[in-house]
Amino acid sequence: MSAMQQVDFDIARARSETPGCRHVVHFNNAGAALMPQPVINAVGDYLRLEASIGGYEAAEQAHDKIDQVYDLAAQLVGCARNEIAIVENATRAWDMAFYSIPFKAGDRIFTSMAEYASNYIPFLQVQKRIGVTIEIVPNDEHGQLSLDALKEMADDDVRLIAITHVPTNCGLVNPADEIGKVARRVNALYLLDACQSVGQMPIDVERIGCDMLSATSRKFLRGPRGVGFLYVRSSLIGELEPPFLDLHAARWVNRKQYEIRSDARRFENWEANYAANVGLGAAISYSLEWGLDDIWRRVRFLGDTLREKLGEIPGITVHDLGAVKCGIVAFSLAGWDAEAVRRALRRGNINVSVARKEHTLLDMASRGLDTFVRASIHYYNSEDEIDRFYKTLKSIGGSPNTAGRY
């Protein structure tokens, strides 16, 4: 019996509305999830409109549908539409927020052991350019950011607390709400990388207390690639000047003056992939229709079920951390390179990915790990698929063929 109880979920409908389910067992939702039919239709219809009447003309005709994405994203994370920017991806969203902060020498940046390379590299760059300090909050006994350590370390000198809510490489869910309480107590800015949590679980920026949040379309929201969004608290927007501006983010007033937009769209730029934007809107609408609470219960049930099944296979080690675990399941198979396992599963039409040390260097180096397999499930995955995954892995582990082993 899984630690999480099964929930009443219309899995038949979820799978029938996901064409990819007919072709693959897709356990790579933390990479890019399979899009549901309504999202496919939204993107395809918009591209056909562009092809029929022209790009500028299509954007004008579909203005209301494009504009609605701001309302949907705001509803998804519990904010106002003027606090949302639609950008190319979660990394660009995070960068636009981070590089807008007016750091000065000696400012302290707090982050976690599980931080992602695309976030930590900017920390190092700003340290080199300006002279900020980077301080790593240690883990607690569960492997998540230690709240006791954070409270002890934090004081009024902390400029920014920046963490990844759900790391790329394991099932950990960092305690974002409690971190927000500490950030408010010491008056520090709080930047949350939510690219692996949005769409997988309910997110409420007011409850969390974050000032900025970055998210993507392609992962657990099940939208198209090449689009994401940024939330910035309205009271903070005026203090942040984006690292670059264009005629969308600002207005050219005279030869010597420009005026930046007053809303979060100052973090956008003029050119956009409107087909992807519309697809993002359709994906958010689809997630809201299912209900994020129900999605989260279903994902946790399947994640726990998968971990239990993996625990029955000799030679499998599950590497997930955290008091609360999500739909990302990290494991290794004794004697096998992670990439070789991925290829073997792919030959059976099962999709997974490989986590590498350079992506979460602090965490994986501390655990003596170079790579492992990342399987990430979503609500449209089935228990039959978990059984198929289990049987395939057992056959790989028991194979006398040593090709692809260490």
* CA within 13 Å, CB half, 27: 32
* Residues 389 and 375: beta-carbon distance below 8 Å: yes
Tell me, what's the pLDDT at 7? Answer: 66
Which residues have C-beta within 8 Å of that of residue 126, sequence separation ≥ 6? 98, 99, 103, 109, 132
Token pair for 245: 């501006």
pLDDT-derived band at 5, boundaries 50, 70, 90: low
Tell me, what's the pLDDT at 45? Answer: 98
Helix axes 383-397, 292-310, angle to 10 degrees: 30
Least confident of 53-62, 279-288, 394-403: 394-403
Tell me, what's the pLDDT at 356? Answer: 96
The structure's pTM equals 0.95
Q: How many CB atoms lie within 10 A of CB 4?
A: 17
Please check the confidence at residue 151 and state whether its pLDDT lies above 50.
Answer: yes
Q: What is the mean pLDDT of residues 48-60?
A: 98
Note the Cα 209 to chain centre separation in Å.
18
Please check the confidence at residue 62 and state whether its pLDDT lies above 70.
Answer: yes
% residues pLDDT > 70 (the chain): 96
Helix axes 63-77, 274-290, angle to 10 degrees: 40
More confident residue, 398 or 135: 135
Rounded to the nearest integer, the mean pLDDT of the chain is: 95
29 by Cβ neighbours in 10 Å (0-12 / 13-18 / 19+) ranks as buried
Tell me, what's the pLDDT at 56? Answer: 98
Please check the confidence at residue 1 and state whether its pLDDT lies above 50.
Answer: no
Tell me, what's the pLDDT at 397? Answer: 72
- pLDDT tens string 345-391: 999 999 999 999 999 999 999 999 999 999 999 999 999 999 999 99
Please state, in angstroms and rounded to a whole number, the distance separating the CA atoms of residues 81 and 118: 27
DSSP β-bridge partners for residue 301: none
Please check the confidence at residue 218 and state whether its pLDDT lies above 90.
Answer: yes
- pLDDT tens string 28-38: 999 999 999 99
Please state, in angstroms and rounded to a whole number, the distance separating the CA atoms of residues 195 and 212: 12
Token pair for 141: 């006994």
Helix (H) or strand (E) holding 19: none
Tell me, what's the pLDDT at 172? Answer: 96
pLDDT-derived band at 402, boundaries 50, 70, 90: very low
* Residue carrying structure tokens 């004081």: 155
Please check the confidence at residue 3 and state whether its pLDDT lies above 50.
Answer: no
Please check the confidence at residue 401 and state whether its pLDDT lies above 60.
Answer: no
% residues pLDDT > 90 (the chain): 95
Domain boundaries, the chain: 11-35+291-397, 39-289
Please state, in angstroms and rounded to a whole number, the distance separating the CA atoms of residues 78 and 169: 27
Helix (H) or strand (E) holding 212: strand 212-216
Q: What is the mean pLDDT of residues 335-345?
A: 96
Domain 39-289 coded CATH 3.40.640.10? yes
The residue type at 63: H
pLDDT-derived band at 406, boundaries 50, 70, 90: very low
Please check the confidence at residue 286 and state whether its pLDDT lies above 60.
Answer: yes
Please state, in angstroms and rounded to a whole number, the distance separating the CA atoms of residues 169 and 180: 23
Q: Is 46 helix (H, G, I), strand (E, B) or coil?
A: helix
* Residues 261 and 85: beta-carbon distance below 8 Å: no
b/e map of 105-126 (b: 16 or more CB within 10 Å)? eebbbbbbbbbbebbbebbeeb
Torsion angle of C-alpha atoms 395, 380, 193, 185, degrees rounded to 10: -110
Please check the confidence at residue 210 and state whether its pLDDT lies above 90.
Answer: yes
Task: Report CA-CA distances (Å) from 171 to 9, 131, 174, 303, 305.
Answer: 22, 34, 10, 8, 13
Torsion angle of C-alpha atoms 339, 341, 346, 349, degrees rounded to 10: -160
Which CATH superfamily groups domain 11-35+291-397?
Answer: Aspartate Aminotransferase, domain 1 (3.90.1150.10)
Task: Report CA-CA distances (Å) from 177 to 66, 181, 183, 205, 376.
Answer: 31, 7, 10, 9, 24
Helix axes 338-347, 383-397, angle to 10 degrees: 120
b/e map of 94-103 (b: 16 or more CB within 10 Å)? bbbbbbbbeb
DSSP β-bridge partners for residue 371: 356
Please check the confidence at residue 2 and state whether its pLDDT lies above 60.
Answer: no
